[in-house]
């Protein structure tokens, strides 16, 4: 039997998007969650682009057009797309240093019957999602 819960909260100007989401996850002891939606804006962004070792960054005014991924006290994995004032859109791995401009309205869903962990499993060199089903 799964126990789903919805979490909704808002981040205010100046907050770090990634740190704030992970703090919420840790404070609410979410072991298996996923991003349902996030809308808002940034004055600074830090993203790691696909298959790149370094972070790309920028400052200005950006709309968050998507944010998705898996969330856990044991490690989260989030991807974000943002657009600038011309509509140019870029996306990648969400990194610390994405600073809220006006708001970030966030909805997360979690399921207490599972535990998400990030561990090496031999299929890639990275810590990948491992899913455990808790016994009810």
Rounded-to-10 torsion of CA 20, 66, 91, 42: -50
What is the pTM for the complete model shown?
0.94
Q: What is the pLDDT along the chain (136 residues), one digit of tens a residue?
A: 568 999 999 999 999 999 999 999 999 999 999 999 999 999 999 999 999 999 999 999 999 999 999 999 999 999 999 999 999 999 999 999 999 999 999 999 999 999 999 999 999 999 999 999 987 5
**Longest pairwise C-alpha distance within the chain:** 51
CA distance 85 to 62: 7
Number of domains making up the chain: 1
The range of the structural domain enclosing residue 110 comes to 4-133
Report the CATH number that the domain containing residue 126 is assigned in CATH: 3.30.1330.80
């Amino acid at each position: 039997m799964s126990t789903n819960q919805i979490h909704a909260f808002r981040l205010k100007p100046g907050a770090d998007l990634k740190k704030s989401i992970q703090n919420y996850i840790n404070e609410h002891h979410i072991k298996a969650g996923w991003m349902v939606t996030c809308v808002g804006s940034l004055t600074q962004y830090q993203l790691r682009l696909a298959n790149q070792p370094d972070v790309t960054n920028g400052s200005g005014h950006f709309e968050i057009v998507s944010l998705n991924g898996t969330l856990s006290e044991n490690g989260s994995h989030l991807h974000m797309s943002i657009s600038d004032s011309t509509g140019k859109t870029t996306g990648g791995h969400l990194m610390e240093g994405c600073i809220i401009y006006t708001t970030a309205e966030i909805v997360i869903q979690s399921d207490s019957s599972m535990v998400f962990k990030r561990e090496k499993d031999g299929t890639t060199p990275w810590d990948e999602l491992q899913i455990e089903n808790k016994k009810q």
